[in-house]
Structure 1
Amino acid sequence: MRVAQVTPYFLPHNGGMEMYVYNLSKNLINEGHTVEVITANVPEGRSVEVMDGILVRRLKCLGEPLRNPLVPSIFLLLNELKKFDVIHIHNVYSFTALSFPILKKFCKIPIVLTHHGQLMFGEPMKDLCVRIYEKSARGVVLNSVDTAVALSDSDARQISQQNGGTAADRSPSGHPRNVVTIPNGYDDGKFRPMDTRECKEALGLPPDRKMILNVGRLYGAVKGHEYLIEAMSRIVKKRKDVLCVIVGPGRLYDTLDRQIRSLGLEEYVVLAGGKPHDEIPLWLNACDLFVLPSLSEGNPTVMFEAFGCGKPFVGTRVGGVPEIVTSDDYGLLVDPANPDDLAEKVLTALDREWDREAILACSEQYTWENITREIVGVYDQVLR
């Protein structure tokens, strides 16, 4: 099968969607399929290259309003797109997704779209633009694809509510018949248990501190970093043997650094900056607890990666997170934007003896090998 993966961003631009497309593409190739990734040339690099066996075509980007690369040259690829059996688009909130209702009329190729969660910036004007898009153009995109893949039932329900339709258009689950739920996945070859003390030593971290880890770009309030830092001001009043490490680059670095200093948390909260993705398994294995304080999520890759390393999880009840953390055997849930609740659950988690084997057992169903098989099933269905 020949599959085009069309995504606004791809590696080395780093994020959950980029890793999703990378891992899916690699596993499709491992199963004998032919894959080409078509993306924006951001950050600028070679227009065509092979990355870990994946052919990547990068299109000229004219700008990135609301983190949305504008790549009108995709309309010049009509004859190229016709050679594929399936076109798989990523992120409904993108220029590339918006272009495909037009391109499909000429390509006549089955189109699958993965909906990577609700877009939220945590900034009023930007979020208003997103809501306007949702009420206008997003439905056109979703109704033009053969199948939409939602990462969570929460997202599938949201698609259903916004797109309307009759009862005959819906499956027994209540979702539109062209919407299926397939969760995110993780690379179990990279994200696997390692010795915590050895990982702390390799990263130069103090061995006698309980390490709380967060991994996420510092690009907007939506990731909830300010609430994690606020929660740490409460946590250190109860115990001093803690260290919170936030890994990720972004424009909020200075803002968060000022917050840390204003709360006198310099000895307890560290902004580690961006790290290569290949180094993230070390950080996850070095921690005692992984925390995700987001205000909005789809089905975050790093949550599955933490589970793959056998680490307990404290996260907010947003998006697909509660659908995965269904037992307190491997994680605790908190209300978003609530530093008191977050502090309480972190303290509870740090005091508890966790069953690593139960956490690893939970993670096994989310390996990319298993997720890829489900997505190939979707491809087969649209081809039939």
Structure 2
Amino acid sequence: MQKKKESKGDIMNFLFFSAQFLPHMGGVENFTYNISKVLIENGHTVTVITSNTTNSVSFENLESISVYRLDCHNFIDGRYPVFKRNKLFKETIKKLNQSKFDFVIVNTRFYFHSILGAKYAYKHNIPCITIDHGTSHLTVHNKLLDFLGGYYEHFITFVLKRYCSDFYGVSKASSQWLKHFNIVSKGEIYNAIDLNRIENISSQNPSLNFRIKENIPDNSILLAFTGRLLKEKGIVQLVSAVEQWNDNHQQSPIYLCLAGEGPLQSFLMEHANEYIHYLGRLSFEQVIYFLRESDIFVLPSDSEGFSTSLLEAGVCKNYIITTLRGGAKELLPDDTYGIVIENNDLDSVYNAINKALNCQNREEAVNKVYKRIKENFTWEVTSETIMDIYKAKR
């Protein structure tokens, strides 16, 4: 999957429609930001149309990315923004109409924002693709609302397909999920990481030491989780599995540190003890410092496109336990790379932790994962994929 480095040719003007963007944090936001940076480094220009979910400025030049934020209604605690058709909206569209764009990229499939992007490209006859980042329906953990939400998502997708016919998955699992909507994926545009940035951070020697700060012995096994604190991430099962392990192995306890923010913050605070630590929201640099100190990264998620956290943990030489969701088999093709479990019930998570702790080849596995990420899952590789797609559509 390794590609040769892109040669700089004609300058292209990319237009991204991403319902959420920085400073709002999340996987799709990071995807848009990082791919934009690489495209700009290669001489292209990038504009991002997003939702103002964070009361930020309506327009800014963010590291040479032109960012327009539309006023919006923040439904589902900001997880589902819906833009307002107000004066700012009209002014933004007018500014877009005064520019010439070569390629429109719609990130995610189930927002009104996505339809806005696809419809804009269709109206102006601009090549357009939609990148899907999911592997299941959006959930709010309410059976009735989830049921209605599923029908709603099918309706949104039906409308989106009228304006965009080229869909890609952020992993093979995402591409497979598109079949649920009678969409045949054109391929994968993989999530990735900024390898050079992470290695530069890792080479530094910060005064911050998480083991010292949290009173975790150097010779102990430290499990890590980073990301949004949502039920679908399997956090409850992970905490329960560690508690159960320590109850059964009082002479050889393991430690678990979790970093991030979200609805389960209060749950983690309630379960915090000598062996389970909630670190709160960390900066990107702090996440890398933390992962540099941990041994095993656990992401027992119900739904993933292709987790950035997995890639970051792999580059930081963590042994990985995850579920058979987006990107898992691309990153861990067999059990010599790590552990992929079928589901995230408590027994499965517990048994996976037990297997990892007794694995004699953890060092070999982390080195294989690092090499695989370096060759396949960097933003340079992903940007070249996007350029290849554009050239094929031209």
TM-score category, normalised to shorter length: 0.7 to 0.9
* TM-superposition CA deviations, 1:197-237 (whole Å, max 9, x none): 9787366242232110001212x311111010111122212
* TM-superposition CA deviations, 1:40-62 (whole Å, max 9, x none): 11211111112222221111123
Cα–Cα, structure 1 residues 80 and 87, in superposed 2: closer, same or farther, change >3 Å?
Answer: farther
- Partner letter of residue 336 of structure 1? N
TM-score normalised by length of structure 2: 0.85
Aligned counterpart for 1:227 among listed residues 233, 237, 245: 237
* TM-superposition CA deviations, 1:8-59 (whole Å, max 9, x none): 1111111111110010000000111100111111211111112222221111
Aligned counterpart for 1:253 among listed residues 265, 270, 280: 265
**Unpaired segments of 5 or more residues in structure 1?**
165-174
Instruction: Determine the C-alpha separation between the residues in 1 that align with 2:385 and 2:125.
Output: 24
* TM-superposition CA deviations, 1:124-182 (whole Å, max 9, x none): 23422331123322133135214222012222222134226xxxxxxxxxx35xx2212
Q: How many residues align?
A: 365
Equivalent residue for 2:294?
A: 287
Instruction: Determine what percentage of the aligned residue pairs are the same residue.
Output: 25
Aligned counterpart for 1:127 among listed residues 142, 146, 167: 146
TM-score normalised by length of structure 1: 0.87
* TM-superposition CA deviations, 1:314-368 (whole Å, max 9, x none): 0011233233211222210123232222122112213334224322111111011
Structure 1 residue 3, shift from structure 2 partner: 0.5
Do 2:49 and 2:67's aligned partners in 1 also have CA atoms closer than 8 Å?
A: yes
Structure 1 residue 185, shift from structure 2 partner: 0.5
Q: CA RMSD in A?
A: 2.4
- Partner letter of residue 142 of structure 2? E
Structure 1 residue 97, shift from structure 2 partner: 0.8
Structure 1 stretches (4+) deviating beyond 6 angstroms?
195-200
Do 2:225 and 2:298's aligned partners in 1 also have CA atoms closer than 8 Å?
A: yes
Instruction: Determine the C-alpha separation between the residues in 2 that align with 1:294 and 1:201.
Output: 28
Q: What secondary structure, in the 3-state scheme, does the structure 2 residue paired with 1:70 have?
A: strand
Instruction: Determine the C-alpha separation between the residues in 2 that align with 1:279 and 1:119.
Output: 32
Q: Does 1:351 align with 2:373?
A: no
Alignment of 1:3-152 (within 5 A): 3-65=14-76, 67-73=79-85, 74=89, 77-82=92-97, 83-117=100-134, 118-121=136-139, 122-152=141-171
Q: What secondary structure, in the 3-state scheme, does the structure 2 residue paired with 1:36 have?
A: strand
Do 1:2 and 1:34's aligned partners in 2 also have CA atoms closer than 8 Å?
A: yes
- Partner letter of residue 149 of structure 2? V
Cα–Cα, structure 1 residues 334 and 186, in superposed 2: closer, same or farther, change >3 Å?
Answer: same
Do 1:196 and 1:286's aligned partners in 2 also have CA atoms closer than 8 Å?
A: no
**Unpaired segments of 5 or more residues in structure 2?**
1-11
Q: What secondary structure, in the 3-state scheme, does the structure 1 residue paired with 2:81 have?
A: coil
Equivalent residue for 2:254?
A: 242
